[in-house]
Amino acid sequence: MTTKGAKTMPKTDYVIEPGKQDIISTIVLDAPRELVFKAYTDPKLFAQWWGPRRYENKIDKFESRRGGEWRVIQRGADGTEHGFRGVNHDVVAPERICATFEYEGMPGHVALQTATFEALGNKTRLVAHLVFESVMDRDGMVASGMQEGADESMERLAELLERMKAGRS
């Protein structure tokens, strides 16, 4: 989103209802959906925006196709590492990605995320629907600071999209 002379970061809206086992986040990004989809499916671009700024992403595996696996390791300045992995169940360019998500620090707690990319002229409405195995898993994810990390990811994604539109990703 742009205001005269200054950039304002897009705001993500969350639906986190008590007693439910899902989270729905919605954001409108100031970039065509093909660019947003590319930022989600190109490992070099994905590594530049996913997760909090305090971590560097190392892409271990990133197969952006149906049945393809992904694994990303986030490394902090102090050397701590956090691994995340999943399997892409559906990748339909530039409309939808459906994949599992598992934090390796809590193995066996797998969520299913469906991200949909809706064209709004030269902007994109991105809706991410995460379904957890239980309300307890969902509430644990919320308590872990997920929303803060997701907001920071979306800020970083918006910055990357600006660079991509300017031809300097």
pLDDT score, position 114:
98
Angstrom distance (rounded) from CA 98 to CA 119:
18
CATH class for the region spanning 19-164:
alpha beta
Condensed to tens digits (0 to 9), the pLDDT of residues 2-16 reads: 444 456 788 999 999
Mean per-residue pLDDT, 49-75: 97
Quote the pLDDT of residue 1. 44
What mean pLDDT comes out for the span 129-153? 95
Distance between CA 21 and CA 29 in Å, rounded?
26
User: Mean per-residue pLDDT for 66-80?
Assistant: 97
Q: What is the CA radius of gyration of the chain?
A: 16
**DSSP three-state, residue 166:** coil
- Residue 84: in which H helix or E strand, if any? strand 81-92
Domain ranges for the chain: 19-164
pLDDT above 70 (res 169): yes
Q: What is the pLDDT of residues 78-134, one digit of tens each?
A: 999 999 999 999 999 999 999 999 999 999 999 999 999 999 999 999 999 999 999
Report whether pLDDT(26) > 90. yes
